[in-house]
Structure formats: C-alpha cells, structure tokens
Chain A
Amino acid sequence: MSTTGKGVWNKLQSPSTRYSVLTLLGIGFIGGIAFLTGFLGELKATAQESFCISCHEMRENVYLEYKNTPHFSNKSGVRATCADCHLARDLAPKLARKIVAVRELFHKVKGTIDTREKFLDHRLTMATRVWGEMKANDSRECRSCHDAKAMDYAKQSRRAMQQHIRGDREKLTCIDCHKGIAHLLPDMKDIDPSAVIGGHI
C-alpha cells in the first residue's frame, strides 16, 4: 500500500511528458474557476433565508418572531434577513462561522431543540452565546448597515439621541442595549432582574 502511495506521489512530483505547460495551466485555470464558482455559490446559497428556514427549528421559532419586527417590515422597505445580522460579510469570519455551523448540524440530528418546549429551555443559552459574539466583535453585523459615523443623532428622537450619546460615552456596543429586537427574549431574570415579573427592584 505504501509503495503504491509512493508511486503516485513520485508521479505527481515528476514533470509531465504528455501535456504542454499551457494545457496544464489552462486546465488548472478552468478547474480553479469551476471550483471557486461552486464554492462561492454554495456559500451564497447557504446564506439565503430560504435555506435557514428550511429547518422547522428556525421557521417555527425565531423566524415567526422576526416577522413581527422592523427588520422584516418597516416604512422604507429595506429588509435585513438572517444572514445580514448573523453572518459576517468578510470571507474569513464568514468561513469561520460556516465551520462552527457543524455544531448546529449535530444538534439538528440530535434533536436538541426540535420542539417549542426544548427550544425555550435552550433559549437563554443560545441567546447569550449570540450576544457574546456580537459584543466581542463590537456588533460588526449591525454596523454593516447602521454605521455610527453615518448616524445623525440630531435627527433622532429625544430619547434615542440621549441614549446613543450615553452609549458612546460609556463605550457600549449596539447589542448592549438592543437585545431582543428581532426575536423574543428569553427569561431575563438573570440578565436584568429589575425588568421581569417578580424580580427585584
């Protein structure tokens, strides 16, 4: 087995006697284009909303909730879909996220959140993880549309202006305040006990 392997390796390393350099380069070039097209096409296809909600876990929980929020429907008709908030624009972090998505496939097979009850049980863990990611990358995906440099506080409402100035002063990031804007919140008694029923002042 090892000799055959060595034979193939030797053959791969020695120069071709049958094909011209141009042919080989041509094959490499066309092959490269074909591979890249397929690969990028796949990346794009798996970032479509239709792909995300092809699983009932997404379609019947987070997607339904998102449909009632301004990121789905608003006065100007600009819509942010799943990938706009949950997938990086740049290739490197995008690929990293795609690799992490293997975890989701594992739990899909395992059926970790395959009922509404199981989903709600895990909701705090999952939400906390997403908030942590957004906090760590300074709400990068929010900012690909909501650029702080392009934001005119003077045109905002009184409350929004005050809060955004405070956010800048205290070096906060979008997700520190804007939680649960596209999906319902988990039980928040550990996050903000003053804002839940029966919680402390």
Chain B
Amino acid sequence: MKKNTPLFLLGIVGCLAILPAATSAGELQSLRGAREITSPSQDPEVVKLIPDQKPIKRDFVQQPPLIPHKIDGYIIDRNYNKCLSCHSWANYKSAGATKISPTHFIDKDGRELASLAPRRYFCTQCHVVQADVEPLVENTFQPVPAIK
C-alpha cells in the first residue's frame, strides 16, 4: 500500500486536471455569454429614455408607480434626495408632482414616523424609468381587470 501511495496521489491530481476541461466543454454558459473571464463584458445597449409624460397606469395592484420622466443626473445620496425636491409632502404642491405614499412613513416595525422611513429613501430601488424596448422575456402578462 505504502509503495502505491505516490501513484494514487498522481491519479487524483490527474483527475482534477481533467475535470475543469470537461465542464467547460459542456453546455454551461454564464449570463455574460461565451466570453472568457478575462475579456471585457459586452457593452450594454444604449437605450433612449421616454421623454416626460403623464403618470403611467399601474399594471398590478402592488406595483410601485413607474417614473414617467427622465432622471439623468438625479442624485440620491446621504446629503440629499433629488426626487424629494418635488415629491416630498412639503414640495409636491408647488412642483405639481405626485406626493410620496403614506406607506413610506412606516418603518420595518410598523411604527409611523414623522419623516420618510430610511428603508424607503432610495426611490429607484422600486421606482424605475421607462425606455421603449422589447421585453427581455416574451410573456402574455395582462393587468387585472380592476385596474385596467
């Protein structure tokens, strides 16, 4: 047994060396496509955002309302939230904007706050801008009749 140990170890190393090659030869493909890890990703398609429009109807009851305007250069950081300069309760009337929902003043423990809940501060986590592009996945989604 002792005599065969080096040969045995060599066998294991040999198998390990073959394994990755076998995997890459298969159908497995990452989201980046068939690109080498060291090569740069494909540049994302440049899409034109839809110019300002009236508020967009919701497609399902719990849908966060979509952003019906461009938000290029709107910065949301620790110091300031550009969205709130129009959509906060203090500013929405003079700006003619939609005010943020009262649900945004409730923290994770259900307590009502006098200010926007920190978990709701980063608007673009849920609310997104719109571009006129084909859906990534073909689908037959229809809004529920109630909000049609």
Contacts and interface: CB of A to CB of B under 8 A. Distances in A.
Interface string A11-37: 000000000000000000000000000
A199 B115 contact: yes
Chain A facing B: main interface SS = loop
B81 A195 contact: yes
Interface residues of A, number: 27
A116 to B, nearest CB: 14
B77 interface: yes
B94 interface: yes
A158 B53 contact: yes
A138 to B, nearest CB: 21
B114 A200 contact: yes
Contacts of B51: 157
Contacts, number: 76
Interface string B46-77: 00000111100000000000000110110101
B131 interface: no
Chain B facing A: main interface SS = loop
A201 B94 CA distance: 14
B96 interface: yes
B80 A180 contact: yes
B90 to A, nearest CB: 4
B56 to A, nearest CB: 13
A159 B118 contact: no
Contacts of A62: none
A133 interface: no
Interface of B: 51-54, 69-70, 72-73, 75, 77-82, 84-85, 88-91, 94-96, 105, 114-116, 118, 121
17 contacts: A69-B73, A157-B52, A157-B70, A159-B52, A180-B80, A184-B79, A192-B80, A192-B85, A194-B84, A196-B80, A197-B81, A198-B116, A199-B115, A199-B116, A200-B90, A201-B88, A201-B89
